[in-house]
Chain A
């Protein structure tokens, strides 16, 4: 349902993304894992049409996002929970979204319930929200249209352990209901807990992808992650240099 097809992005002399290809299928939670600055956010911005790839293409539900007529009804997106007008209430943020998408106002209350923001909290301005509350608000916004595809950039940032537990169950249930979820994170343990497939990225390149088990190779995901991110400079061949790292490619 999400497809990156040889996506590269070059800013001047810096290659932010280098031939990124992977897919996310319906009913799965895919973790997009990489250190800070690896190109995760750039890739997600390209996916939802906020940036253009230098070459290659990214599609959602078979189309480039920006070419869908009403994309936000089918694709829920949270790119930066902090990017809100501080003077707007949480409820107002959701109301604007619901109005834009032509949804009944009752939907605002529904998504607030889903993410566990209380009536009272929803009437406060976002400027006074903690990062965790902003993340919940952002996830509520992404869920407004009842999407088939969810794209979340670092959604667990600022969530407390309870919040992470809650999000894990939320995403699991959405995936079980057929949703395709792509979430990025630089924190291995978060991703390990939530995702059933993982795409590892470093310096703009996909280093490995597969299920958590495949990537662990019997010694733990962390080992693989550290090894791949440490060696990526010296590697001359493709991802196949590490046996098994390519096992999940195309499986979605």
Chain B
């Protein structure tokens, strides 16, 4: 009867430690970081919700580029930029879910027993969303090419292939920063709904703050990541613009990430 499990006599035989693939059958060798990275990347897509969010992101990139193409015509760089709306909204969500998922489902109980050095797990969790930001940016560029060509043919107007490499680089950088902000908020709050609400409502909030006299405008100028990111795309960043970007990145990424790291390292897992 299968429900009873294997006959106990066989269990003793199966009990001795199995050999690891790379022969590192020892509890004195730390788990290689590459392995943690692979596992955390896999956790992004091995559940139905993970698969759905990935598919939605891919579909939205294609749909937004196609829709914009139909409206503004075959301008490749403009079309790529359109994907930024979808990525700017969903990349932080993906990053937040990565950071908070283990606490929502209490799988931290398993993860931190497998690797008690929690900072390594956090590092392994941080990289996949950042890499996904780069990969999805490249995907948007790839998708924009055939759509630009098709729109040009359909509308019978010449395609505008003018693309500034520095713009593409800056645009990819913005997407990475947005994902990093999601990671930091997720690590700090360890609560997906709260982090997602904050992440999605900040643009509205800054629009309000920016109108609150000179103090509000000053704050928005220095701390609103959306505003300070803009010069990245234009490709000619001045020193003061660089300082503002650094200040807002410190405020939205470095500080919450540092506080979140301390919180996760100290938190009692229940």
As a 0/1 sequence over residues 32 to 57 of chain B, the CB contacts with chain A under 8 angstroms (1 = contact) are 10011011001100111110000000
Q: Which of B76-84, B105-113, B190-198, B251-259 contacts A (4 or more CB under 8 A)?
A: B105-113
What chain A residues lie within 8 Å of B35 (beta carbons)?
99-100, 102
Does A241 reach chain B (CB closer than 8 Å)?
A: no
- A20 contacts B by Cβ under 8 Å: no
Q: Which residues of B contact A141 (CB under 8 A)?
A: 110
Interface residues of A in 143-199 (CB under 8 A from B): 143, 145-148, 162, 166, 169-170, 172-174, 176-177, 179
Do A146 and B5 touch (CB < 8 A)?
Answer: no
Q: Which secondary structure dominates chain B's binding surface?
A: loop
**A-binding segment of B16-24, B148-156, B157-165, B178-186:** B16-24
A250 to chain B, nearest CB (A): 26
Cα distance A141–B109 when bound, in Å?
Answer: 12
CA distance A70 to B24 in the complex (A): 10
- Distance A84 CA – B106 CA, assembled complex (angstroms): 7
Q: Does A69 contact B4, Cβ atoms closer than 8 Å?
A: no
Which chain A positions have C-beta within 8 A of B106? 80, 82-83
**B216 interface residue per 8 A CB criterion:** no
| Interface residue total, chain A, C-beta cutoff 8 A | 61
Instruction: Give the distance in Å from the alpha carbon of A92 to the alpha carbon of B110 in the complex.
Output: 13
Closest Cβ–Cβ distance, residue B169 to chain A (whole Å): 34
Number of A-B contacts (CB under 8 A): 162
Contact B109 A83 (CB under 8 A): yes
Which residue of the partner chain, among B12, B43, B48, B116, contacts A173 with CB atoms under 8 Å? B12
Return the chain B residue nearest A82 by Cβ.
Answer: B106
Rounded to whole Å, the gap between the CB of B97 and the closest CB of chain A is: 11
| Chain A hits for B22, CB < 8 A | 102
B5, B15, B46, B117: the one contacting A96 at CB < 8 Å is B46
A77 within 8 A of B: yes
Bound CA–CA A234/B114 (angstroms)? 42
Which residues on the A side are within 8 Å of B11 (C-beta)?
114, 169-170, 173-174
Q: Which of B3, B17, B38, B42 has the most CB of A within 10 A?
A: B3
Residue pair A100, B18 in contact (C-beta under 8 Å): no
13 pairs, CB–CB < 8 Å, chain A vs chain B: A51-B269, A65-B116, A79-B109, A87-B47, A96-B46, A99-B39, A102-B20, A102-B22, A116-B6, A118-B2, A136-B5, A170-B11, A173-B12
* B residues neighboring A (CB under 8 Å): 2-6, 8-9, 11-12, 14-22, 24-32, 35-36, 38-39, 42-43, 46-50, 101, 105-107, 109-110, 112-117, 268-270
Enumerate chain A interface residues (CB-CB to B < 8 A). Answer: 45, 48-52, 61, 65-66, 68-74, 77, 79-80, 82-88, 92-93, 96-97, 99-104, 107, 110, 113-116, 118, 125, 136, 141, 143, 145-148, 162, 166, 169-170, 172-174, 176-177, 179
